[in-house]
Structure formats: structure tokens, C-alpha cells
Amino acid sequence: MQADYIIIGSGSAGAAMAYRLSEDASNSVIVLEFGGTDVGPFIQMPGALSYPMNMARYDWGFKSDPEPGLGGRRLACPRGKVIGGSSSINGMVYVRGHARDFDHWAASGATGWGYADVLPYYKRMEHWHSGGHGGDADWRGKNGPLHITRGKRDNPLFKTFVDAGEQAGFERTEDYNGQKQEGFGPMEQTVWQGRRWSAANAYLKPALKRSNLELVRCFARRVVIENGRAVGVEIERGGQIETVKANREVIVAASSINSPKLLMLSGIGPAAHLAEHGIDVVADRPGVGQNLQDHLELYIQQACTQPITLYKHWNLFGKAMAGASWLFLKQGPGTSNQFESAAFVRSRAGVDYPDIQYHFLPIAVRYDGQAAAEGHGFQAHVGPMRSRSRGAVTLRSADPKADPSILFNYMSHPEDWADFRHCIRLTREIFAQPAFDEYRGKEILPGADVESDDELDAHIREHAESAYHPCGTCKMGRADDPTAVVDPECRVIGVDGLRVADSSIFPRITNGNLNGPSIMVGEKASDHILGRHPLPPENAEPWINPRWETSDR
């Protein structure tokens, strides 16, 4: 088995690269994927999103080590183990990230990854449908593989949330992925014609119709490196260990958890750590596995005095009806992830672009599908987006089958606590606006009696959950930066013929959900791999609040 390019992982970035690298019939490409098929309603039905990320069949099932800042809790860290990777089990929320996020990447050493550089790739990948709801058509892509839609926002609570934000003095935005991220407005989803539009549906399946692309189901054990050059990948399938040879390059796109693990198993990483596990050092890169970041969030839940929430479907009959309506007609609540209103706001004066994100949901329910006992309710998922806390992914053993150690170090920076308390109080302020008067019942979580800083901190410690946005563990930067793992062309520093391209290369976490930026990385990395000139930069100026220095709104 050999090919010009071997891609490890068929997820958001891997699928995009498989599609782009195989467009030229003279390139042969093999994608290595451990997970199986994505066929079936649990993955394809958007409304069923709480199931696949809790199913061992589709999820690697990682857990963090006990987190000191969260009272020793071990948090779930789902990663997709299926074609399409995490894009097949995620919440389908589509956010590009703020323009300033990418300018920060460029300033920190990821030259050529500023907003002007990445915007053309977002346009290339998107097939955006505004659904007649406004938006910034000039900033959006019209014929890419990735369909992006908006929910119908039929439920009155979606509009109520946006109105309440405006009543509290915040901006409105018609398109947070366009010129103006800041404000309250419609949320976008990777859903098309009522189905999850994963990277598998958008990129991998169309590309697999080409004769020069092959998908191999196997477990990748390590990258084979000879004389400082990656020459293949050692895999296990059917109980046999074999090597797949790469004529040109090996590209690791195995997630921010598995990509650093694979590099370390292959001898690339902090030398002392590799030596502890008896692994011969090929390249001493202290940054491998470091710089781990994520978004934490809380659900602020409020009872609803009118029986208009999704709770009415939250019974066996309701779920069966929603399922049947989706299966046969591609209609009903099953066709949406139900995240249809959003907000991006700034926490205080002096912050120049949003650092708090809201997902609004017209039901009070947890990610694992446990509904609030109170019945009808609504909730806002809220959290700070640029925590200064950093964690690490390290090896537990040299056995490729062993899960790595994952420590996020959540809430280890003192500012995290003040930021989170502000998020709770701000949400209460929004829910207290006149727009919610006809719907507002009692506060379910945290509960009206949780008021003081200490009480809020205790609630955060017990209830904060990951938004499942891990990234940063193979940081992109200057070749002379000792903490960088890949250079701005995604080449692993110190090894030839090897690249990493997925969310692990983010120098710093972007605003919002990471599926969009991960696919963009796959798109842009493809041009670097093929030795093409990057798409010409576009100098579009993002909207920055003129009051940013004096007000949070």
C-alpha cells in the first residue's frame, strides 16, 4: 500500500484535504481512519445531536484528568471516531471566528494566516444559504462544498432572546460570520436539506468517487521516519501490523488530542518526556502536546410559563413523531440542532472584540440529553472565549492503544473566575429584560439564591462543562520559535515530508465553535501541500464597536 499523500484522520481538516489533494488526478491519496460508517439517524438527523457524542461506537471517549480548578472533576472530551471525525458528532454550529483572532495568529508567528489570508478560504469552502434572512452576502461563499443554513426560528423564544439583548443595550447582527460578529442574531448550522452536513458528506464522500483516493480502515500506530524524513505510517488492521508508504508526504489530521499523541509516539516531542517512555527522539519539539485550550460554558436555565418549548417533544411519543417526520419528510424539529439564536458580546470596556459567546436553546436540557425536571424552560449556554488557562496532552505510555493524559487546567487563571461570574450575571440581566416578561418563570440553574461571588464560584466549580473545542497542541509559529510545532505551511519543524493540519495547529483558540476554522485549515493547508500560491488576500475591514474603549455594549 502506497500513495503520494497519506492523511491520518478523515475529520474536518482531513476530509477537506482528501478532497482538494485528489482533485488533481495525478495525485494518489490514502486516508487512514479508525472509525466506521456514519450511516444512520443518530448522526444524520440534526435533532439527535446528543446521541452520537455519547456513543462509544462514534466517540473515542476521552476524559480529562481530574481538573484541580473544577474540584477534581474529570470532564468528557468527545472526539469523533467515525468518518467525518468530530464533524459527524458535533453540535453543527458554524462560526468562522472573529477577524481579530486570525490577525492575532499572524502576529504571533503564523505568517500568512491573518484574516485577509483566511477569508478567501472561508469563501471557497462555503455554500451559504441566508434563507432570506439578510446577512452579508459579499462576505460569504456561494458555491463551496460546505452547505451552511439557518434554522427557521419558528419558536417565539428565539426572537425574544435577540430582542432582550437589544433591550439590554447590546448590538444586533444579521450575520456574525460576516462583517459584524458582535451582537445578537441568528445562529448558523452545517445542516443541508434536513441532514447533518458533516465534512464526510461535504468533502469525503464526493472525493471517494475518484479513483485516486482510497479510504483505509485501520489504527494508525506511528509515523515512520527514516533519516529525518517521514516515509509512511505504521498501521494495525485485522490484527496485523503493516506500513503504508508515502511517496511525498504524511499529513496528520487526527485531532488536537490524537495528533500530538501520534507525533510523540513517532519520536517528535519534548525529549525528556519521550525518554521517560523509552521512545527514541527524532525531533526535540517541547511544544508538542502543550498549549491545550478549550472553551468552558455554563447553562443558565430558566423555567418558561408558557408550554411553547421543545419540552413538549421530550417524551417517547414526541421523539418518535419527530424521528418519523425527519425520516420520511425531512421536516419537523429533527431537521435543526435547535441552536437558532446566538450572541457574541464583549465582557467590559477596553476589550476590542467579543470574548463571550451565547448559544440559546428553547428547552432546559443538558448535552447528554437529560431534560430539566421542571418541564418547560429555556437556556443560554454562556462562557468566556479567551481564557488564559493552558493545559497539555501527554503520553501515559508508549503503547499506541493507551489513551493519552489530557489536562486542560481549566480555571487555573484567576481572571477566569471573574469572567465566568460576569457571564452569569450578564445572562440574568438579559433574561430579566421586558421581552421575556410573558415567558419568564423561576431560575432553574444556578437558582435565584446563588448570588455572592463565593456561591457563584462554587456553582461554576460544580457545573461548568466543556464546549468541546480542544485545540492548540501542535502550535503553528515561526520556525525559530521553540514552542512551535509546525511552521506557517503546516510543516513539522525538524522533520521532512510531515505536516499537521487540524485544530491542533491553532496558536490561540478562535471565537466560537471550531468546526469552521478546522475545515478552513484543511482547505488552506491543501494549497501549501500542493505548492500552490495561496488565494489572493482580501482586505475586508471587520466591524469594531466604536464604543469599545468606553463601554461593553
Point out the annotated binding site for FAD.
4-33, 82, 90-93
CA distance 553 to 546: 10
The number of angstroms, rounded, from the C-alpha of 29 to the middle of its chain's C-alpha atoms is 25
Task: Give me the phi and psi of 469, to 5 degrees please.
Answer: -125, 50
E strand residue ranges, 176-316: 183-186, 188-189, 191-192, 195-196, 213-217, 219-226, 229-237, 240-252, 268-269, 283-284, 296-304
DSSP H helix total and E strand total for the chain: 13, 25
Q: What are the residue ranges of helices labelled H in 248-373? A: 255-265, 271-276, 316-329
Catalytic residue of the set 147, 469, 528, 533: 469
Task: Give me the phi and psi of 170, to 5 degrees please.
Answer: -85, 165
Strands 498-500 and 183-186: unpaired
CA distance 75 to 63: 6
Residue 437 one-letter amino acid: D
CA distance 22 to 526: 10
Q: Which helix (H) or strand (E) holds 13?
A: helix 12-21
C-alpha cell at 370: 437529560
Specify whether 469 is catalytic.
yes
Tell me the sheet residues that pair with 147: 127
Active-site amino acid positions: 469
